[in-house]
Structure 1
């Protein structure tokens, strides 16, 4: 698993979109017991905090200690620095395993072997994510698309393609359950949009090799935007039961 976010853990926590409770409730429809859950690749706890009210115990793991240090405290949550593919979690102890916006970085075979080891016989696995941002302002959206597909072309890690393919091409060795189409919707200030774009891993790769600012065109255009922007992210969600 790659660690691309430790050096910017606070910015990541502050600028990344929050998940909706609707996503959690959709997953919970398929979870028969709510004793133990494992949130893998938890980062700064953005999805962990939504799980905490529904389970007796939550284990949240990540390879980035810096990210976990930004996570909110809950009495029933244990944050642990552990790799996704090999943990100290007891066998057949987990009711639900979740991965939010991280599974595309994992070694699929090793990770799924670990998931199947720790899940109870009726356990559930859920991969959650969000796709490319859509800005309602057509001019700004066009510039974001240009940044994503043209300026940063060749700077994205190869694993990013799984998000572009809406997680439909990741291996999924579970008894998959049908889920509805969902979106995350926000009103963001121009500064919030810029802060989010600065968390893109490809932007960091670009800045390491070039002197110009790839956000300059968007920054200039946003100066003419007097108010908040409506932004939308498509939700990526796959839910499956452990295959017996």
Structure 2
């Protein structure tokens, strides 16, 4: 089985504060595919933002992650059951869940073993939805600096799995009865501090800091300031969202 990778425990607090949330239209689409809303499993739940939204619609939500620190910062509701476990090996009951969500996490998994676990815990006709988002957009000038930062400054510090996000999950094996998914876009209003806070949640930034004892986000922020103006001003941040969705055969 593929070795466990935990790139997010060290910045769990920032992850909970700065990571973007998903649009309601996406949840509406996914939930429309699941008529029986007894139990859902949010796998690689991180700070629990998807689990918390599913908990509004499902009787019970299982939410798993390998990071105890992430779960310590997760959103709490009475019907969410948090568990520290690998995606490929959980304590969930057989044939117990009608929906399985994986948000910005599938690329870390051992696909073969994870899909075995999905088939074990999925109730008949269960839906599997895998979500990811790539690089944000602000303006042509700032996007150019951010692209250079992403590809060149941080290039050696990204895990190889990041390529799967760059490919919008199109190359990930997905052995389910796949259905067409609409295109979704996420829009946020962030000031410069919120933007740099988000960059600091990147695993590559944390690896850069450990290797070189300096934070590359500081230099990027200086390059963005002339285009930003008042650092407290909110600017529109856009992410393109990608989804693979299907039914367990």
Q: TM tier, shorter chain?
A: over 0.9
Q: TM-score, normalised by structure 1?
A: 0.95
The answer on whether the counterparts of 1:140 and 1:218 sit within 8 Å (CA) in structure 2 is no
Paired position in structure 2 for 1:178: 180
The answer on whether the counterparts of 1:6 and 1:66 sit within 8 Å (CA) in structure 2 is yes
Alignment of 1:1-244 (within 5 A): 1-135=4-138, 137-224=139-226, 225=228, 226=230, 227-243=233-249
Q: Cα offset for 1:19?
A: 1.2
Q: Cα offset for 1:151?
A: 1.0
The answer on whether the counterparts of 2:71 and 2:82 sit within 8 Å (CA) in structure 1 is yes
Q: Cα offset for 1:179?
A: 0.9
1:142 & 1:230 partners in 2: Cα distance? Answer: 16
2:100 & 2:149 partners in 1: Cα distance? Answer: 34
Q: TM-score, normalised by structure 2?
A: 0.93
Q: Which moved further from structure 2: 19-28 or 222-231? A: 222-231
Runs of 4 or more above 4 Å deviation? none
What SS does structure 2 have at the residue aligned with 1:180? Answer: coil
1:15 & 1:57 partners in 2: Cα distance? Answer: 26
2:183 & 2:219 partners in 1: Cα distance? Answer: 33
The answer on whether the counterparts of 2:49 and 2:74 sit within 8 Å (CA) in structure 1 is yes
The answer on whether the counterparts of 2:208 and 2:215 sit within 8 Å (CA) in structure 1 is no
Q: Cα offset for 1:212?
A: 4.8
Q: Which moved further from structure 2: 207-216 or 188-197? A: 207-216
Gaps of 5+ in 2: none
Instruction: Give the number of equivalent residue pairs.
Output: 242
1:51 & 1:25 partners in 2: Cα distance? Answer: 10
The answer on whether the counterparts of 1:96 and 1:123 sit within 8 Å (CA) in structure 2 is yes
The answer on whether the counterparts of 2:127 and 2:247 sit within 8 Å (CA) in structure 1 is yes
Q: Cα offset for 1:77?
A: 0.8
Q: Write out per-residue CA displacement over residues 123-150 of structure 1, whole angstroms, 9 at most, x where no aligned residue.
A: 1111012111111x32221111110011
Gaps of 5+ in 1: none
